Amino acid sequence: MKRSEVIPELEDLLGFEAGTIKEGANIADVPEWDSMAILSFIAFVEDKFELVLEGDQIAEVKTFIELFDLIGDKFE
């Protein structure tokens, strides 16, 4: 999966309107991004990239750019 495909797929999975997640945005500015979204993101990354992220790693990041950076070289 390509990096550009992550946002639309996540929005779809989480039932968010398109455009809710913007890569440059601060995570704190997106109220829909709650603890369920975080759990979904962990499961999504495990499924699509065979990568297990830890809760503390995710708690530390401030922006979606940093969040997707955790997937690192696993992108296509």
Partner 1 sequence: MNKSFSNPFSLIGRRVLVTGASSGIGRGIAIFISQLGAEVICNGRDEKRLKETLDNLSGSGHTAAKFDLNDVEAIQPWMMKISKQHGKLWGMVHAAGIQQTLPAAMVSKEKFEHVFTINTKAAFFLAKALFSPSIRDEHGGSIVFISSVMSLVSQAAISTYSLSKAALSGLSKSLAVEFAPKKIRVNCISPAYIKTPLLDDMIKKWTGSQVKELTKRHPLGIGEIQDVAYATAFLLSDASRWITGTNLVVDGGYTTL
**Counting contacts by CB under 8 A, is residue 69 touching partner 1?**
no
Distance CA 41, CA 47 (A): 10
- Smallest CA-to-CA distance from 43 within 10, 19, 3 is with 10
Q: Cβ closer to partner 1: 1 or 14?
A: 14
Site pattern 10..39 for partner 1 (x: CB under 8 A): ---xxx-------------------xx--x
Distance CA 6, CA 43 (A): 13
Q: Which residues bind partner 1 (CB under 8 A)?
A: 13-15, 35-36, 39-40, 42-44, 47, 52-56, 58-59
